[in-house]
Every structure is written in C-alpha cells, then in structure tokens.
Homo-oligomer: A and B are copies of this chain.
Amino acid sequence: MSSNYHWLYRGTTEIFPSQPSNNPDENLEARLSNIDRPLRVKLGIDPTGTDIHLGHSIPVRKLRAFQDAGHTAVLIIGDFTAQIGDPTGKSEVRKQLTAAEVEANAQTYLEQLRPIIDFDTPGRLEIRYNSEWLKDLDLTNILELLATMTVGQMLAKEGFAERYEKDQPIYLHEFMYPLMQGYDSVAVEADVELGGTDQKFNIAVGRDLQRYFKKRPQFGLLTPILIGTDGVQKMSKSLNNYVGLKEEALSMYSKLEKVPDDQIKTYFELLTNLPLDNLPENPRECQKLLALEVTSHYHGKEAAKQAQQSALSLISGQAKEAQAVPEYSLAEIEFPVKLFYLLNVSDLCASSGEGRRQIKNGAVRLDGKKMTDVNAEFTSKEELAGKTLQVGKKKFIRLTAD
C-alpha cells in the first residue's frame, strides 16, 4: 500500500464502501496505486446557475487532487435536466433553459473552475454532457431503471422522507433524478464519484445501477458542506454569507479575513493545501493568512497582496474618517440624562421613541460598546465627553464637554 494518501482524506467526510477494505476491489488506495489505468473520477455540475462560491469549490478541489495523482476528472454537465426544467412548472429554481442558455452557463461555470482544475495536462480531464446518453433512453430503458428500486428505498432519501411525513407533495418525476444521476455513472464508467454529503443517496444509486448493468461499482467520496462567512448557516448566495469565485480580489480578501475563529481551521482544511499544524496562533494573523492564501489561488499572489494592502488602508481610511465625525456639545444638557433623550436632541434619532426602538434593536453603540438598556442613564458630563455615540453603521457623533 502506498504511503501518502493524505490528499485523499484531507477534509473528506466519508468514503464508501468504508476504507481501508480487505476486498482489493473495494480498497480505494489499492485502486489508486494501480496507475496503469487512471481512475475515472466523476463530478456532476448543474448548469442552471452561473455563480459559483467557495462552498461549491470543495469537491472540485478534491477532483483536482485526483488529477494531480494521475487520474482522470470526468466533469458531467447536467444539460439534460436543465433543458427540461421542472415539468410541474411549480419550481422557480428549476426553470427550463434553452440549449444555448445551458451551454453559456456551462462555459461560465467552467471558466470559474479554471483556477482549480487542471485543464491542460493531457488525459486529466473529460467534459461530458449527460444529454449524450439520457436523450436516447426510451420507455423500456426507463422502466428497467425504475424497476431497480422500490418506493420504500426511494422514500428513505433525505428530503423525501420528511416531505412524505408532512404530507407535502412529492411528484413522481422527482424519483427519476437520482436514477438519472446514477445512470450518468453507468454511462461514463465512473470509478469514483465526488459530492457533498447531501449527495450520498444519489451516489449510492449510481453504485447500484452500475452493479445492475454489470459494471464495477464506483466509490463515493463525500466532502463537507461549507459554513458561510457568518459562521452559522451553510454558504449560500441567498443568505449573502458567500464568497464567489468571480469576486474581485479585494472583496474576496475582505470577506475571508473576517471568517469567524471557530470556522477558520475548517476553511484552511477545505480551501487551501497548507499544513494545518503550523498555522499562526494569533487569530487575526490566521484570518489574514487564510484570506491571502485563498485570494492568491484565484487572483495570483500579487493581486492578493495588493488586496491585503488595500484592505489595510481601507481600515485606516475608515479610522481617519472617524476623526471627521461631527461633534455634539453636552454644554446645554442637564444631567442625569437618558440615553434615548440624548439620541433625540443630538439628531441621531428623529424622536425619543425612535431612540428607544434603536436601543432595543441593538443599533446603538457608545465607543463601540452596544447599549441595550432602554433606560440607560448618565449622571455626569464626564461620563460621556470624548466618546463616540453611534446609531447603525453610518450615523456617528462625537460628544464634547463644551
């Protein structure tokens, strides 16, 4: 057994069948070592959207690792389903696309993958459109595919089970999608299929169909779903917690240097090739290194360094701007004074009522410290003089004694 398959396991949630296996046919390291015959490593791409973010990049990065180990990446463009859209017409996500739209999306998609995938080394990349084989399936073939699974097995799929329990409609054609994805594996003779952990069921269906069609069943390799820059929910465009692969270097850098501390190691693991045991101890340095490293990957080292510089001067710029904050004199104020009253008379809020609401909403800060007590009160000018009072991100005043 070859020694160094670190790249295979880095950031990998699961490989199935589980490794190492005593069955040489099911031992992935053994199969990978037999480099006489490069493995065919499948990754499916859905060309319905065009913007890819770092979350999408994770299985693609794993695909690149397979390429670097001498294997063949087989990128499947799911043009067939994209051209059908949602036959019920109910889904806004799956709207029907023309062949030209699908092709344009696919090209945009591939362009974004260019920094990750090796497009150039001969034999390392195969791009296939699944309409190639799916358009030729007839009713006989499709009945045969359907007959490989039972309703119970299909309803066990994550997502279906919950919806069935809740009496939410599951349209019958939805049962075809895992079978179609599985049939892609048959058609391209995949040895390994990559995907996020949400792809486990579909990849397993691919294994079953390959067995049914007397082909060697593929391995499944699952990668984690990336948590977004908010540190809470999965990265997604609609949640606005994403970093797009097409983003400008400065934007990418700025988002990444704010990745929360508890996610930073995961980001390093999944989005860089840096060793994890040698990261800076200072969290701020850690964020900067991550941002620099990932930005370098998509924009080159120079651009990334420039982005870092710009981000720094932007911050000091903001600091300078802060010095230009309008002043408000406390000379006329009678103490003790309520915070909400101060917000009103200083014109930060249009009324005391609005002042109370902004405090409740957590929008009010004194020298950066959030003030959440609606009845907060100050007894003397000295407590406030020289401090910055702020509502939201844009309204500031500096309080002065006279």
Q: Which residues of A contact B (CB under 8 A)?
A: 80, 84, 86-88, 134-140, 142-144, 146-152, 154-155, 164, 167, 169-173, 175-176, 179-180
Asked if B154 and A172 sit within 8 Å, CB to CB, the answer is yes
- In the complex, A136 Cα to B142 Cα: how many Å? 12
- In the complex, A100 Cα to B55 Cα: how many Å? 56
Taking a contact as CB atoms closer than 8 A, the residue among B150, B169, B180 that contacts A171 in the complex is: B150
- In the complex, A138 Cα to B137 Cα: how many Å? 6
Q: List chain B residues, Cβ under 8 A from A180.
A: 139
Asked if A147 and B80 sit within 8 Å, CB to CB, the answer is no
Taking a contact as CB atoms closer than 8 A, the residue among B86, B152, B169 that contacts A170 in the complex is: B152
Contacts A152-B170, A170-B150 hold; do A142 and B142 have CB atoms under 8 A apart?
yes
**Is chain A's interface secondary structure helix, strand, loop, or mixed overall?**
helix
Q: List chain B residues, Cβ under 8 A from A143.
A: 84, 87, 173, 176
Q: List chain B residues, Cβ under 8 A from A138.
A: 135-138
Taking a contact as CB atoms closer than 8 A, the residue among B136, B146, B179 that contacts A176 in the complex is: B146
Contacts A167-B152, A172-B175 hold; do A139 and B135 have CB atoms under 8 A apart?
yes
Q: List chain B residues, Cβ under 8 A from A149.
A: 171-172
A135, A139, A144, A164: residue with the most chain B Cβ atoms closer than 10 Å: A139
- In the complex, A124 Cα to B205 Cα: how many Å? 49
- In the complex, A180 Cα to B134 Cα: how many Å? 20
| Chain B residue with Cβ nearest A171 | B147
Q: List chain B residues, Cβ under 8 A from A87.
A: 143-144, 146-147
Q: List chain B residues, Cβ under 8 A from A136.
A: 138
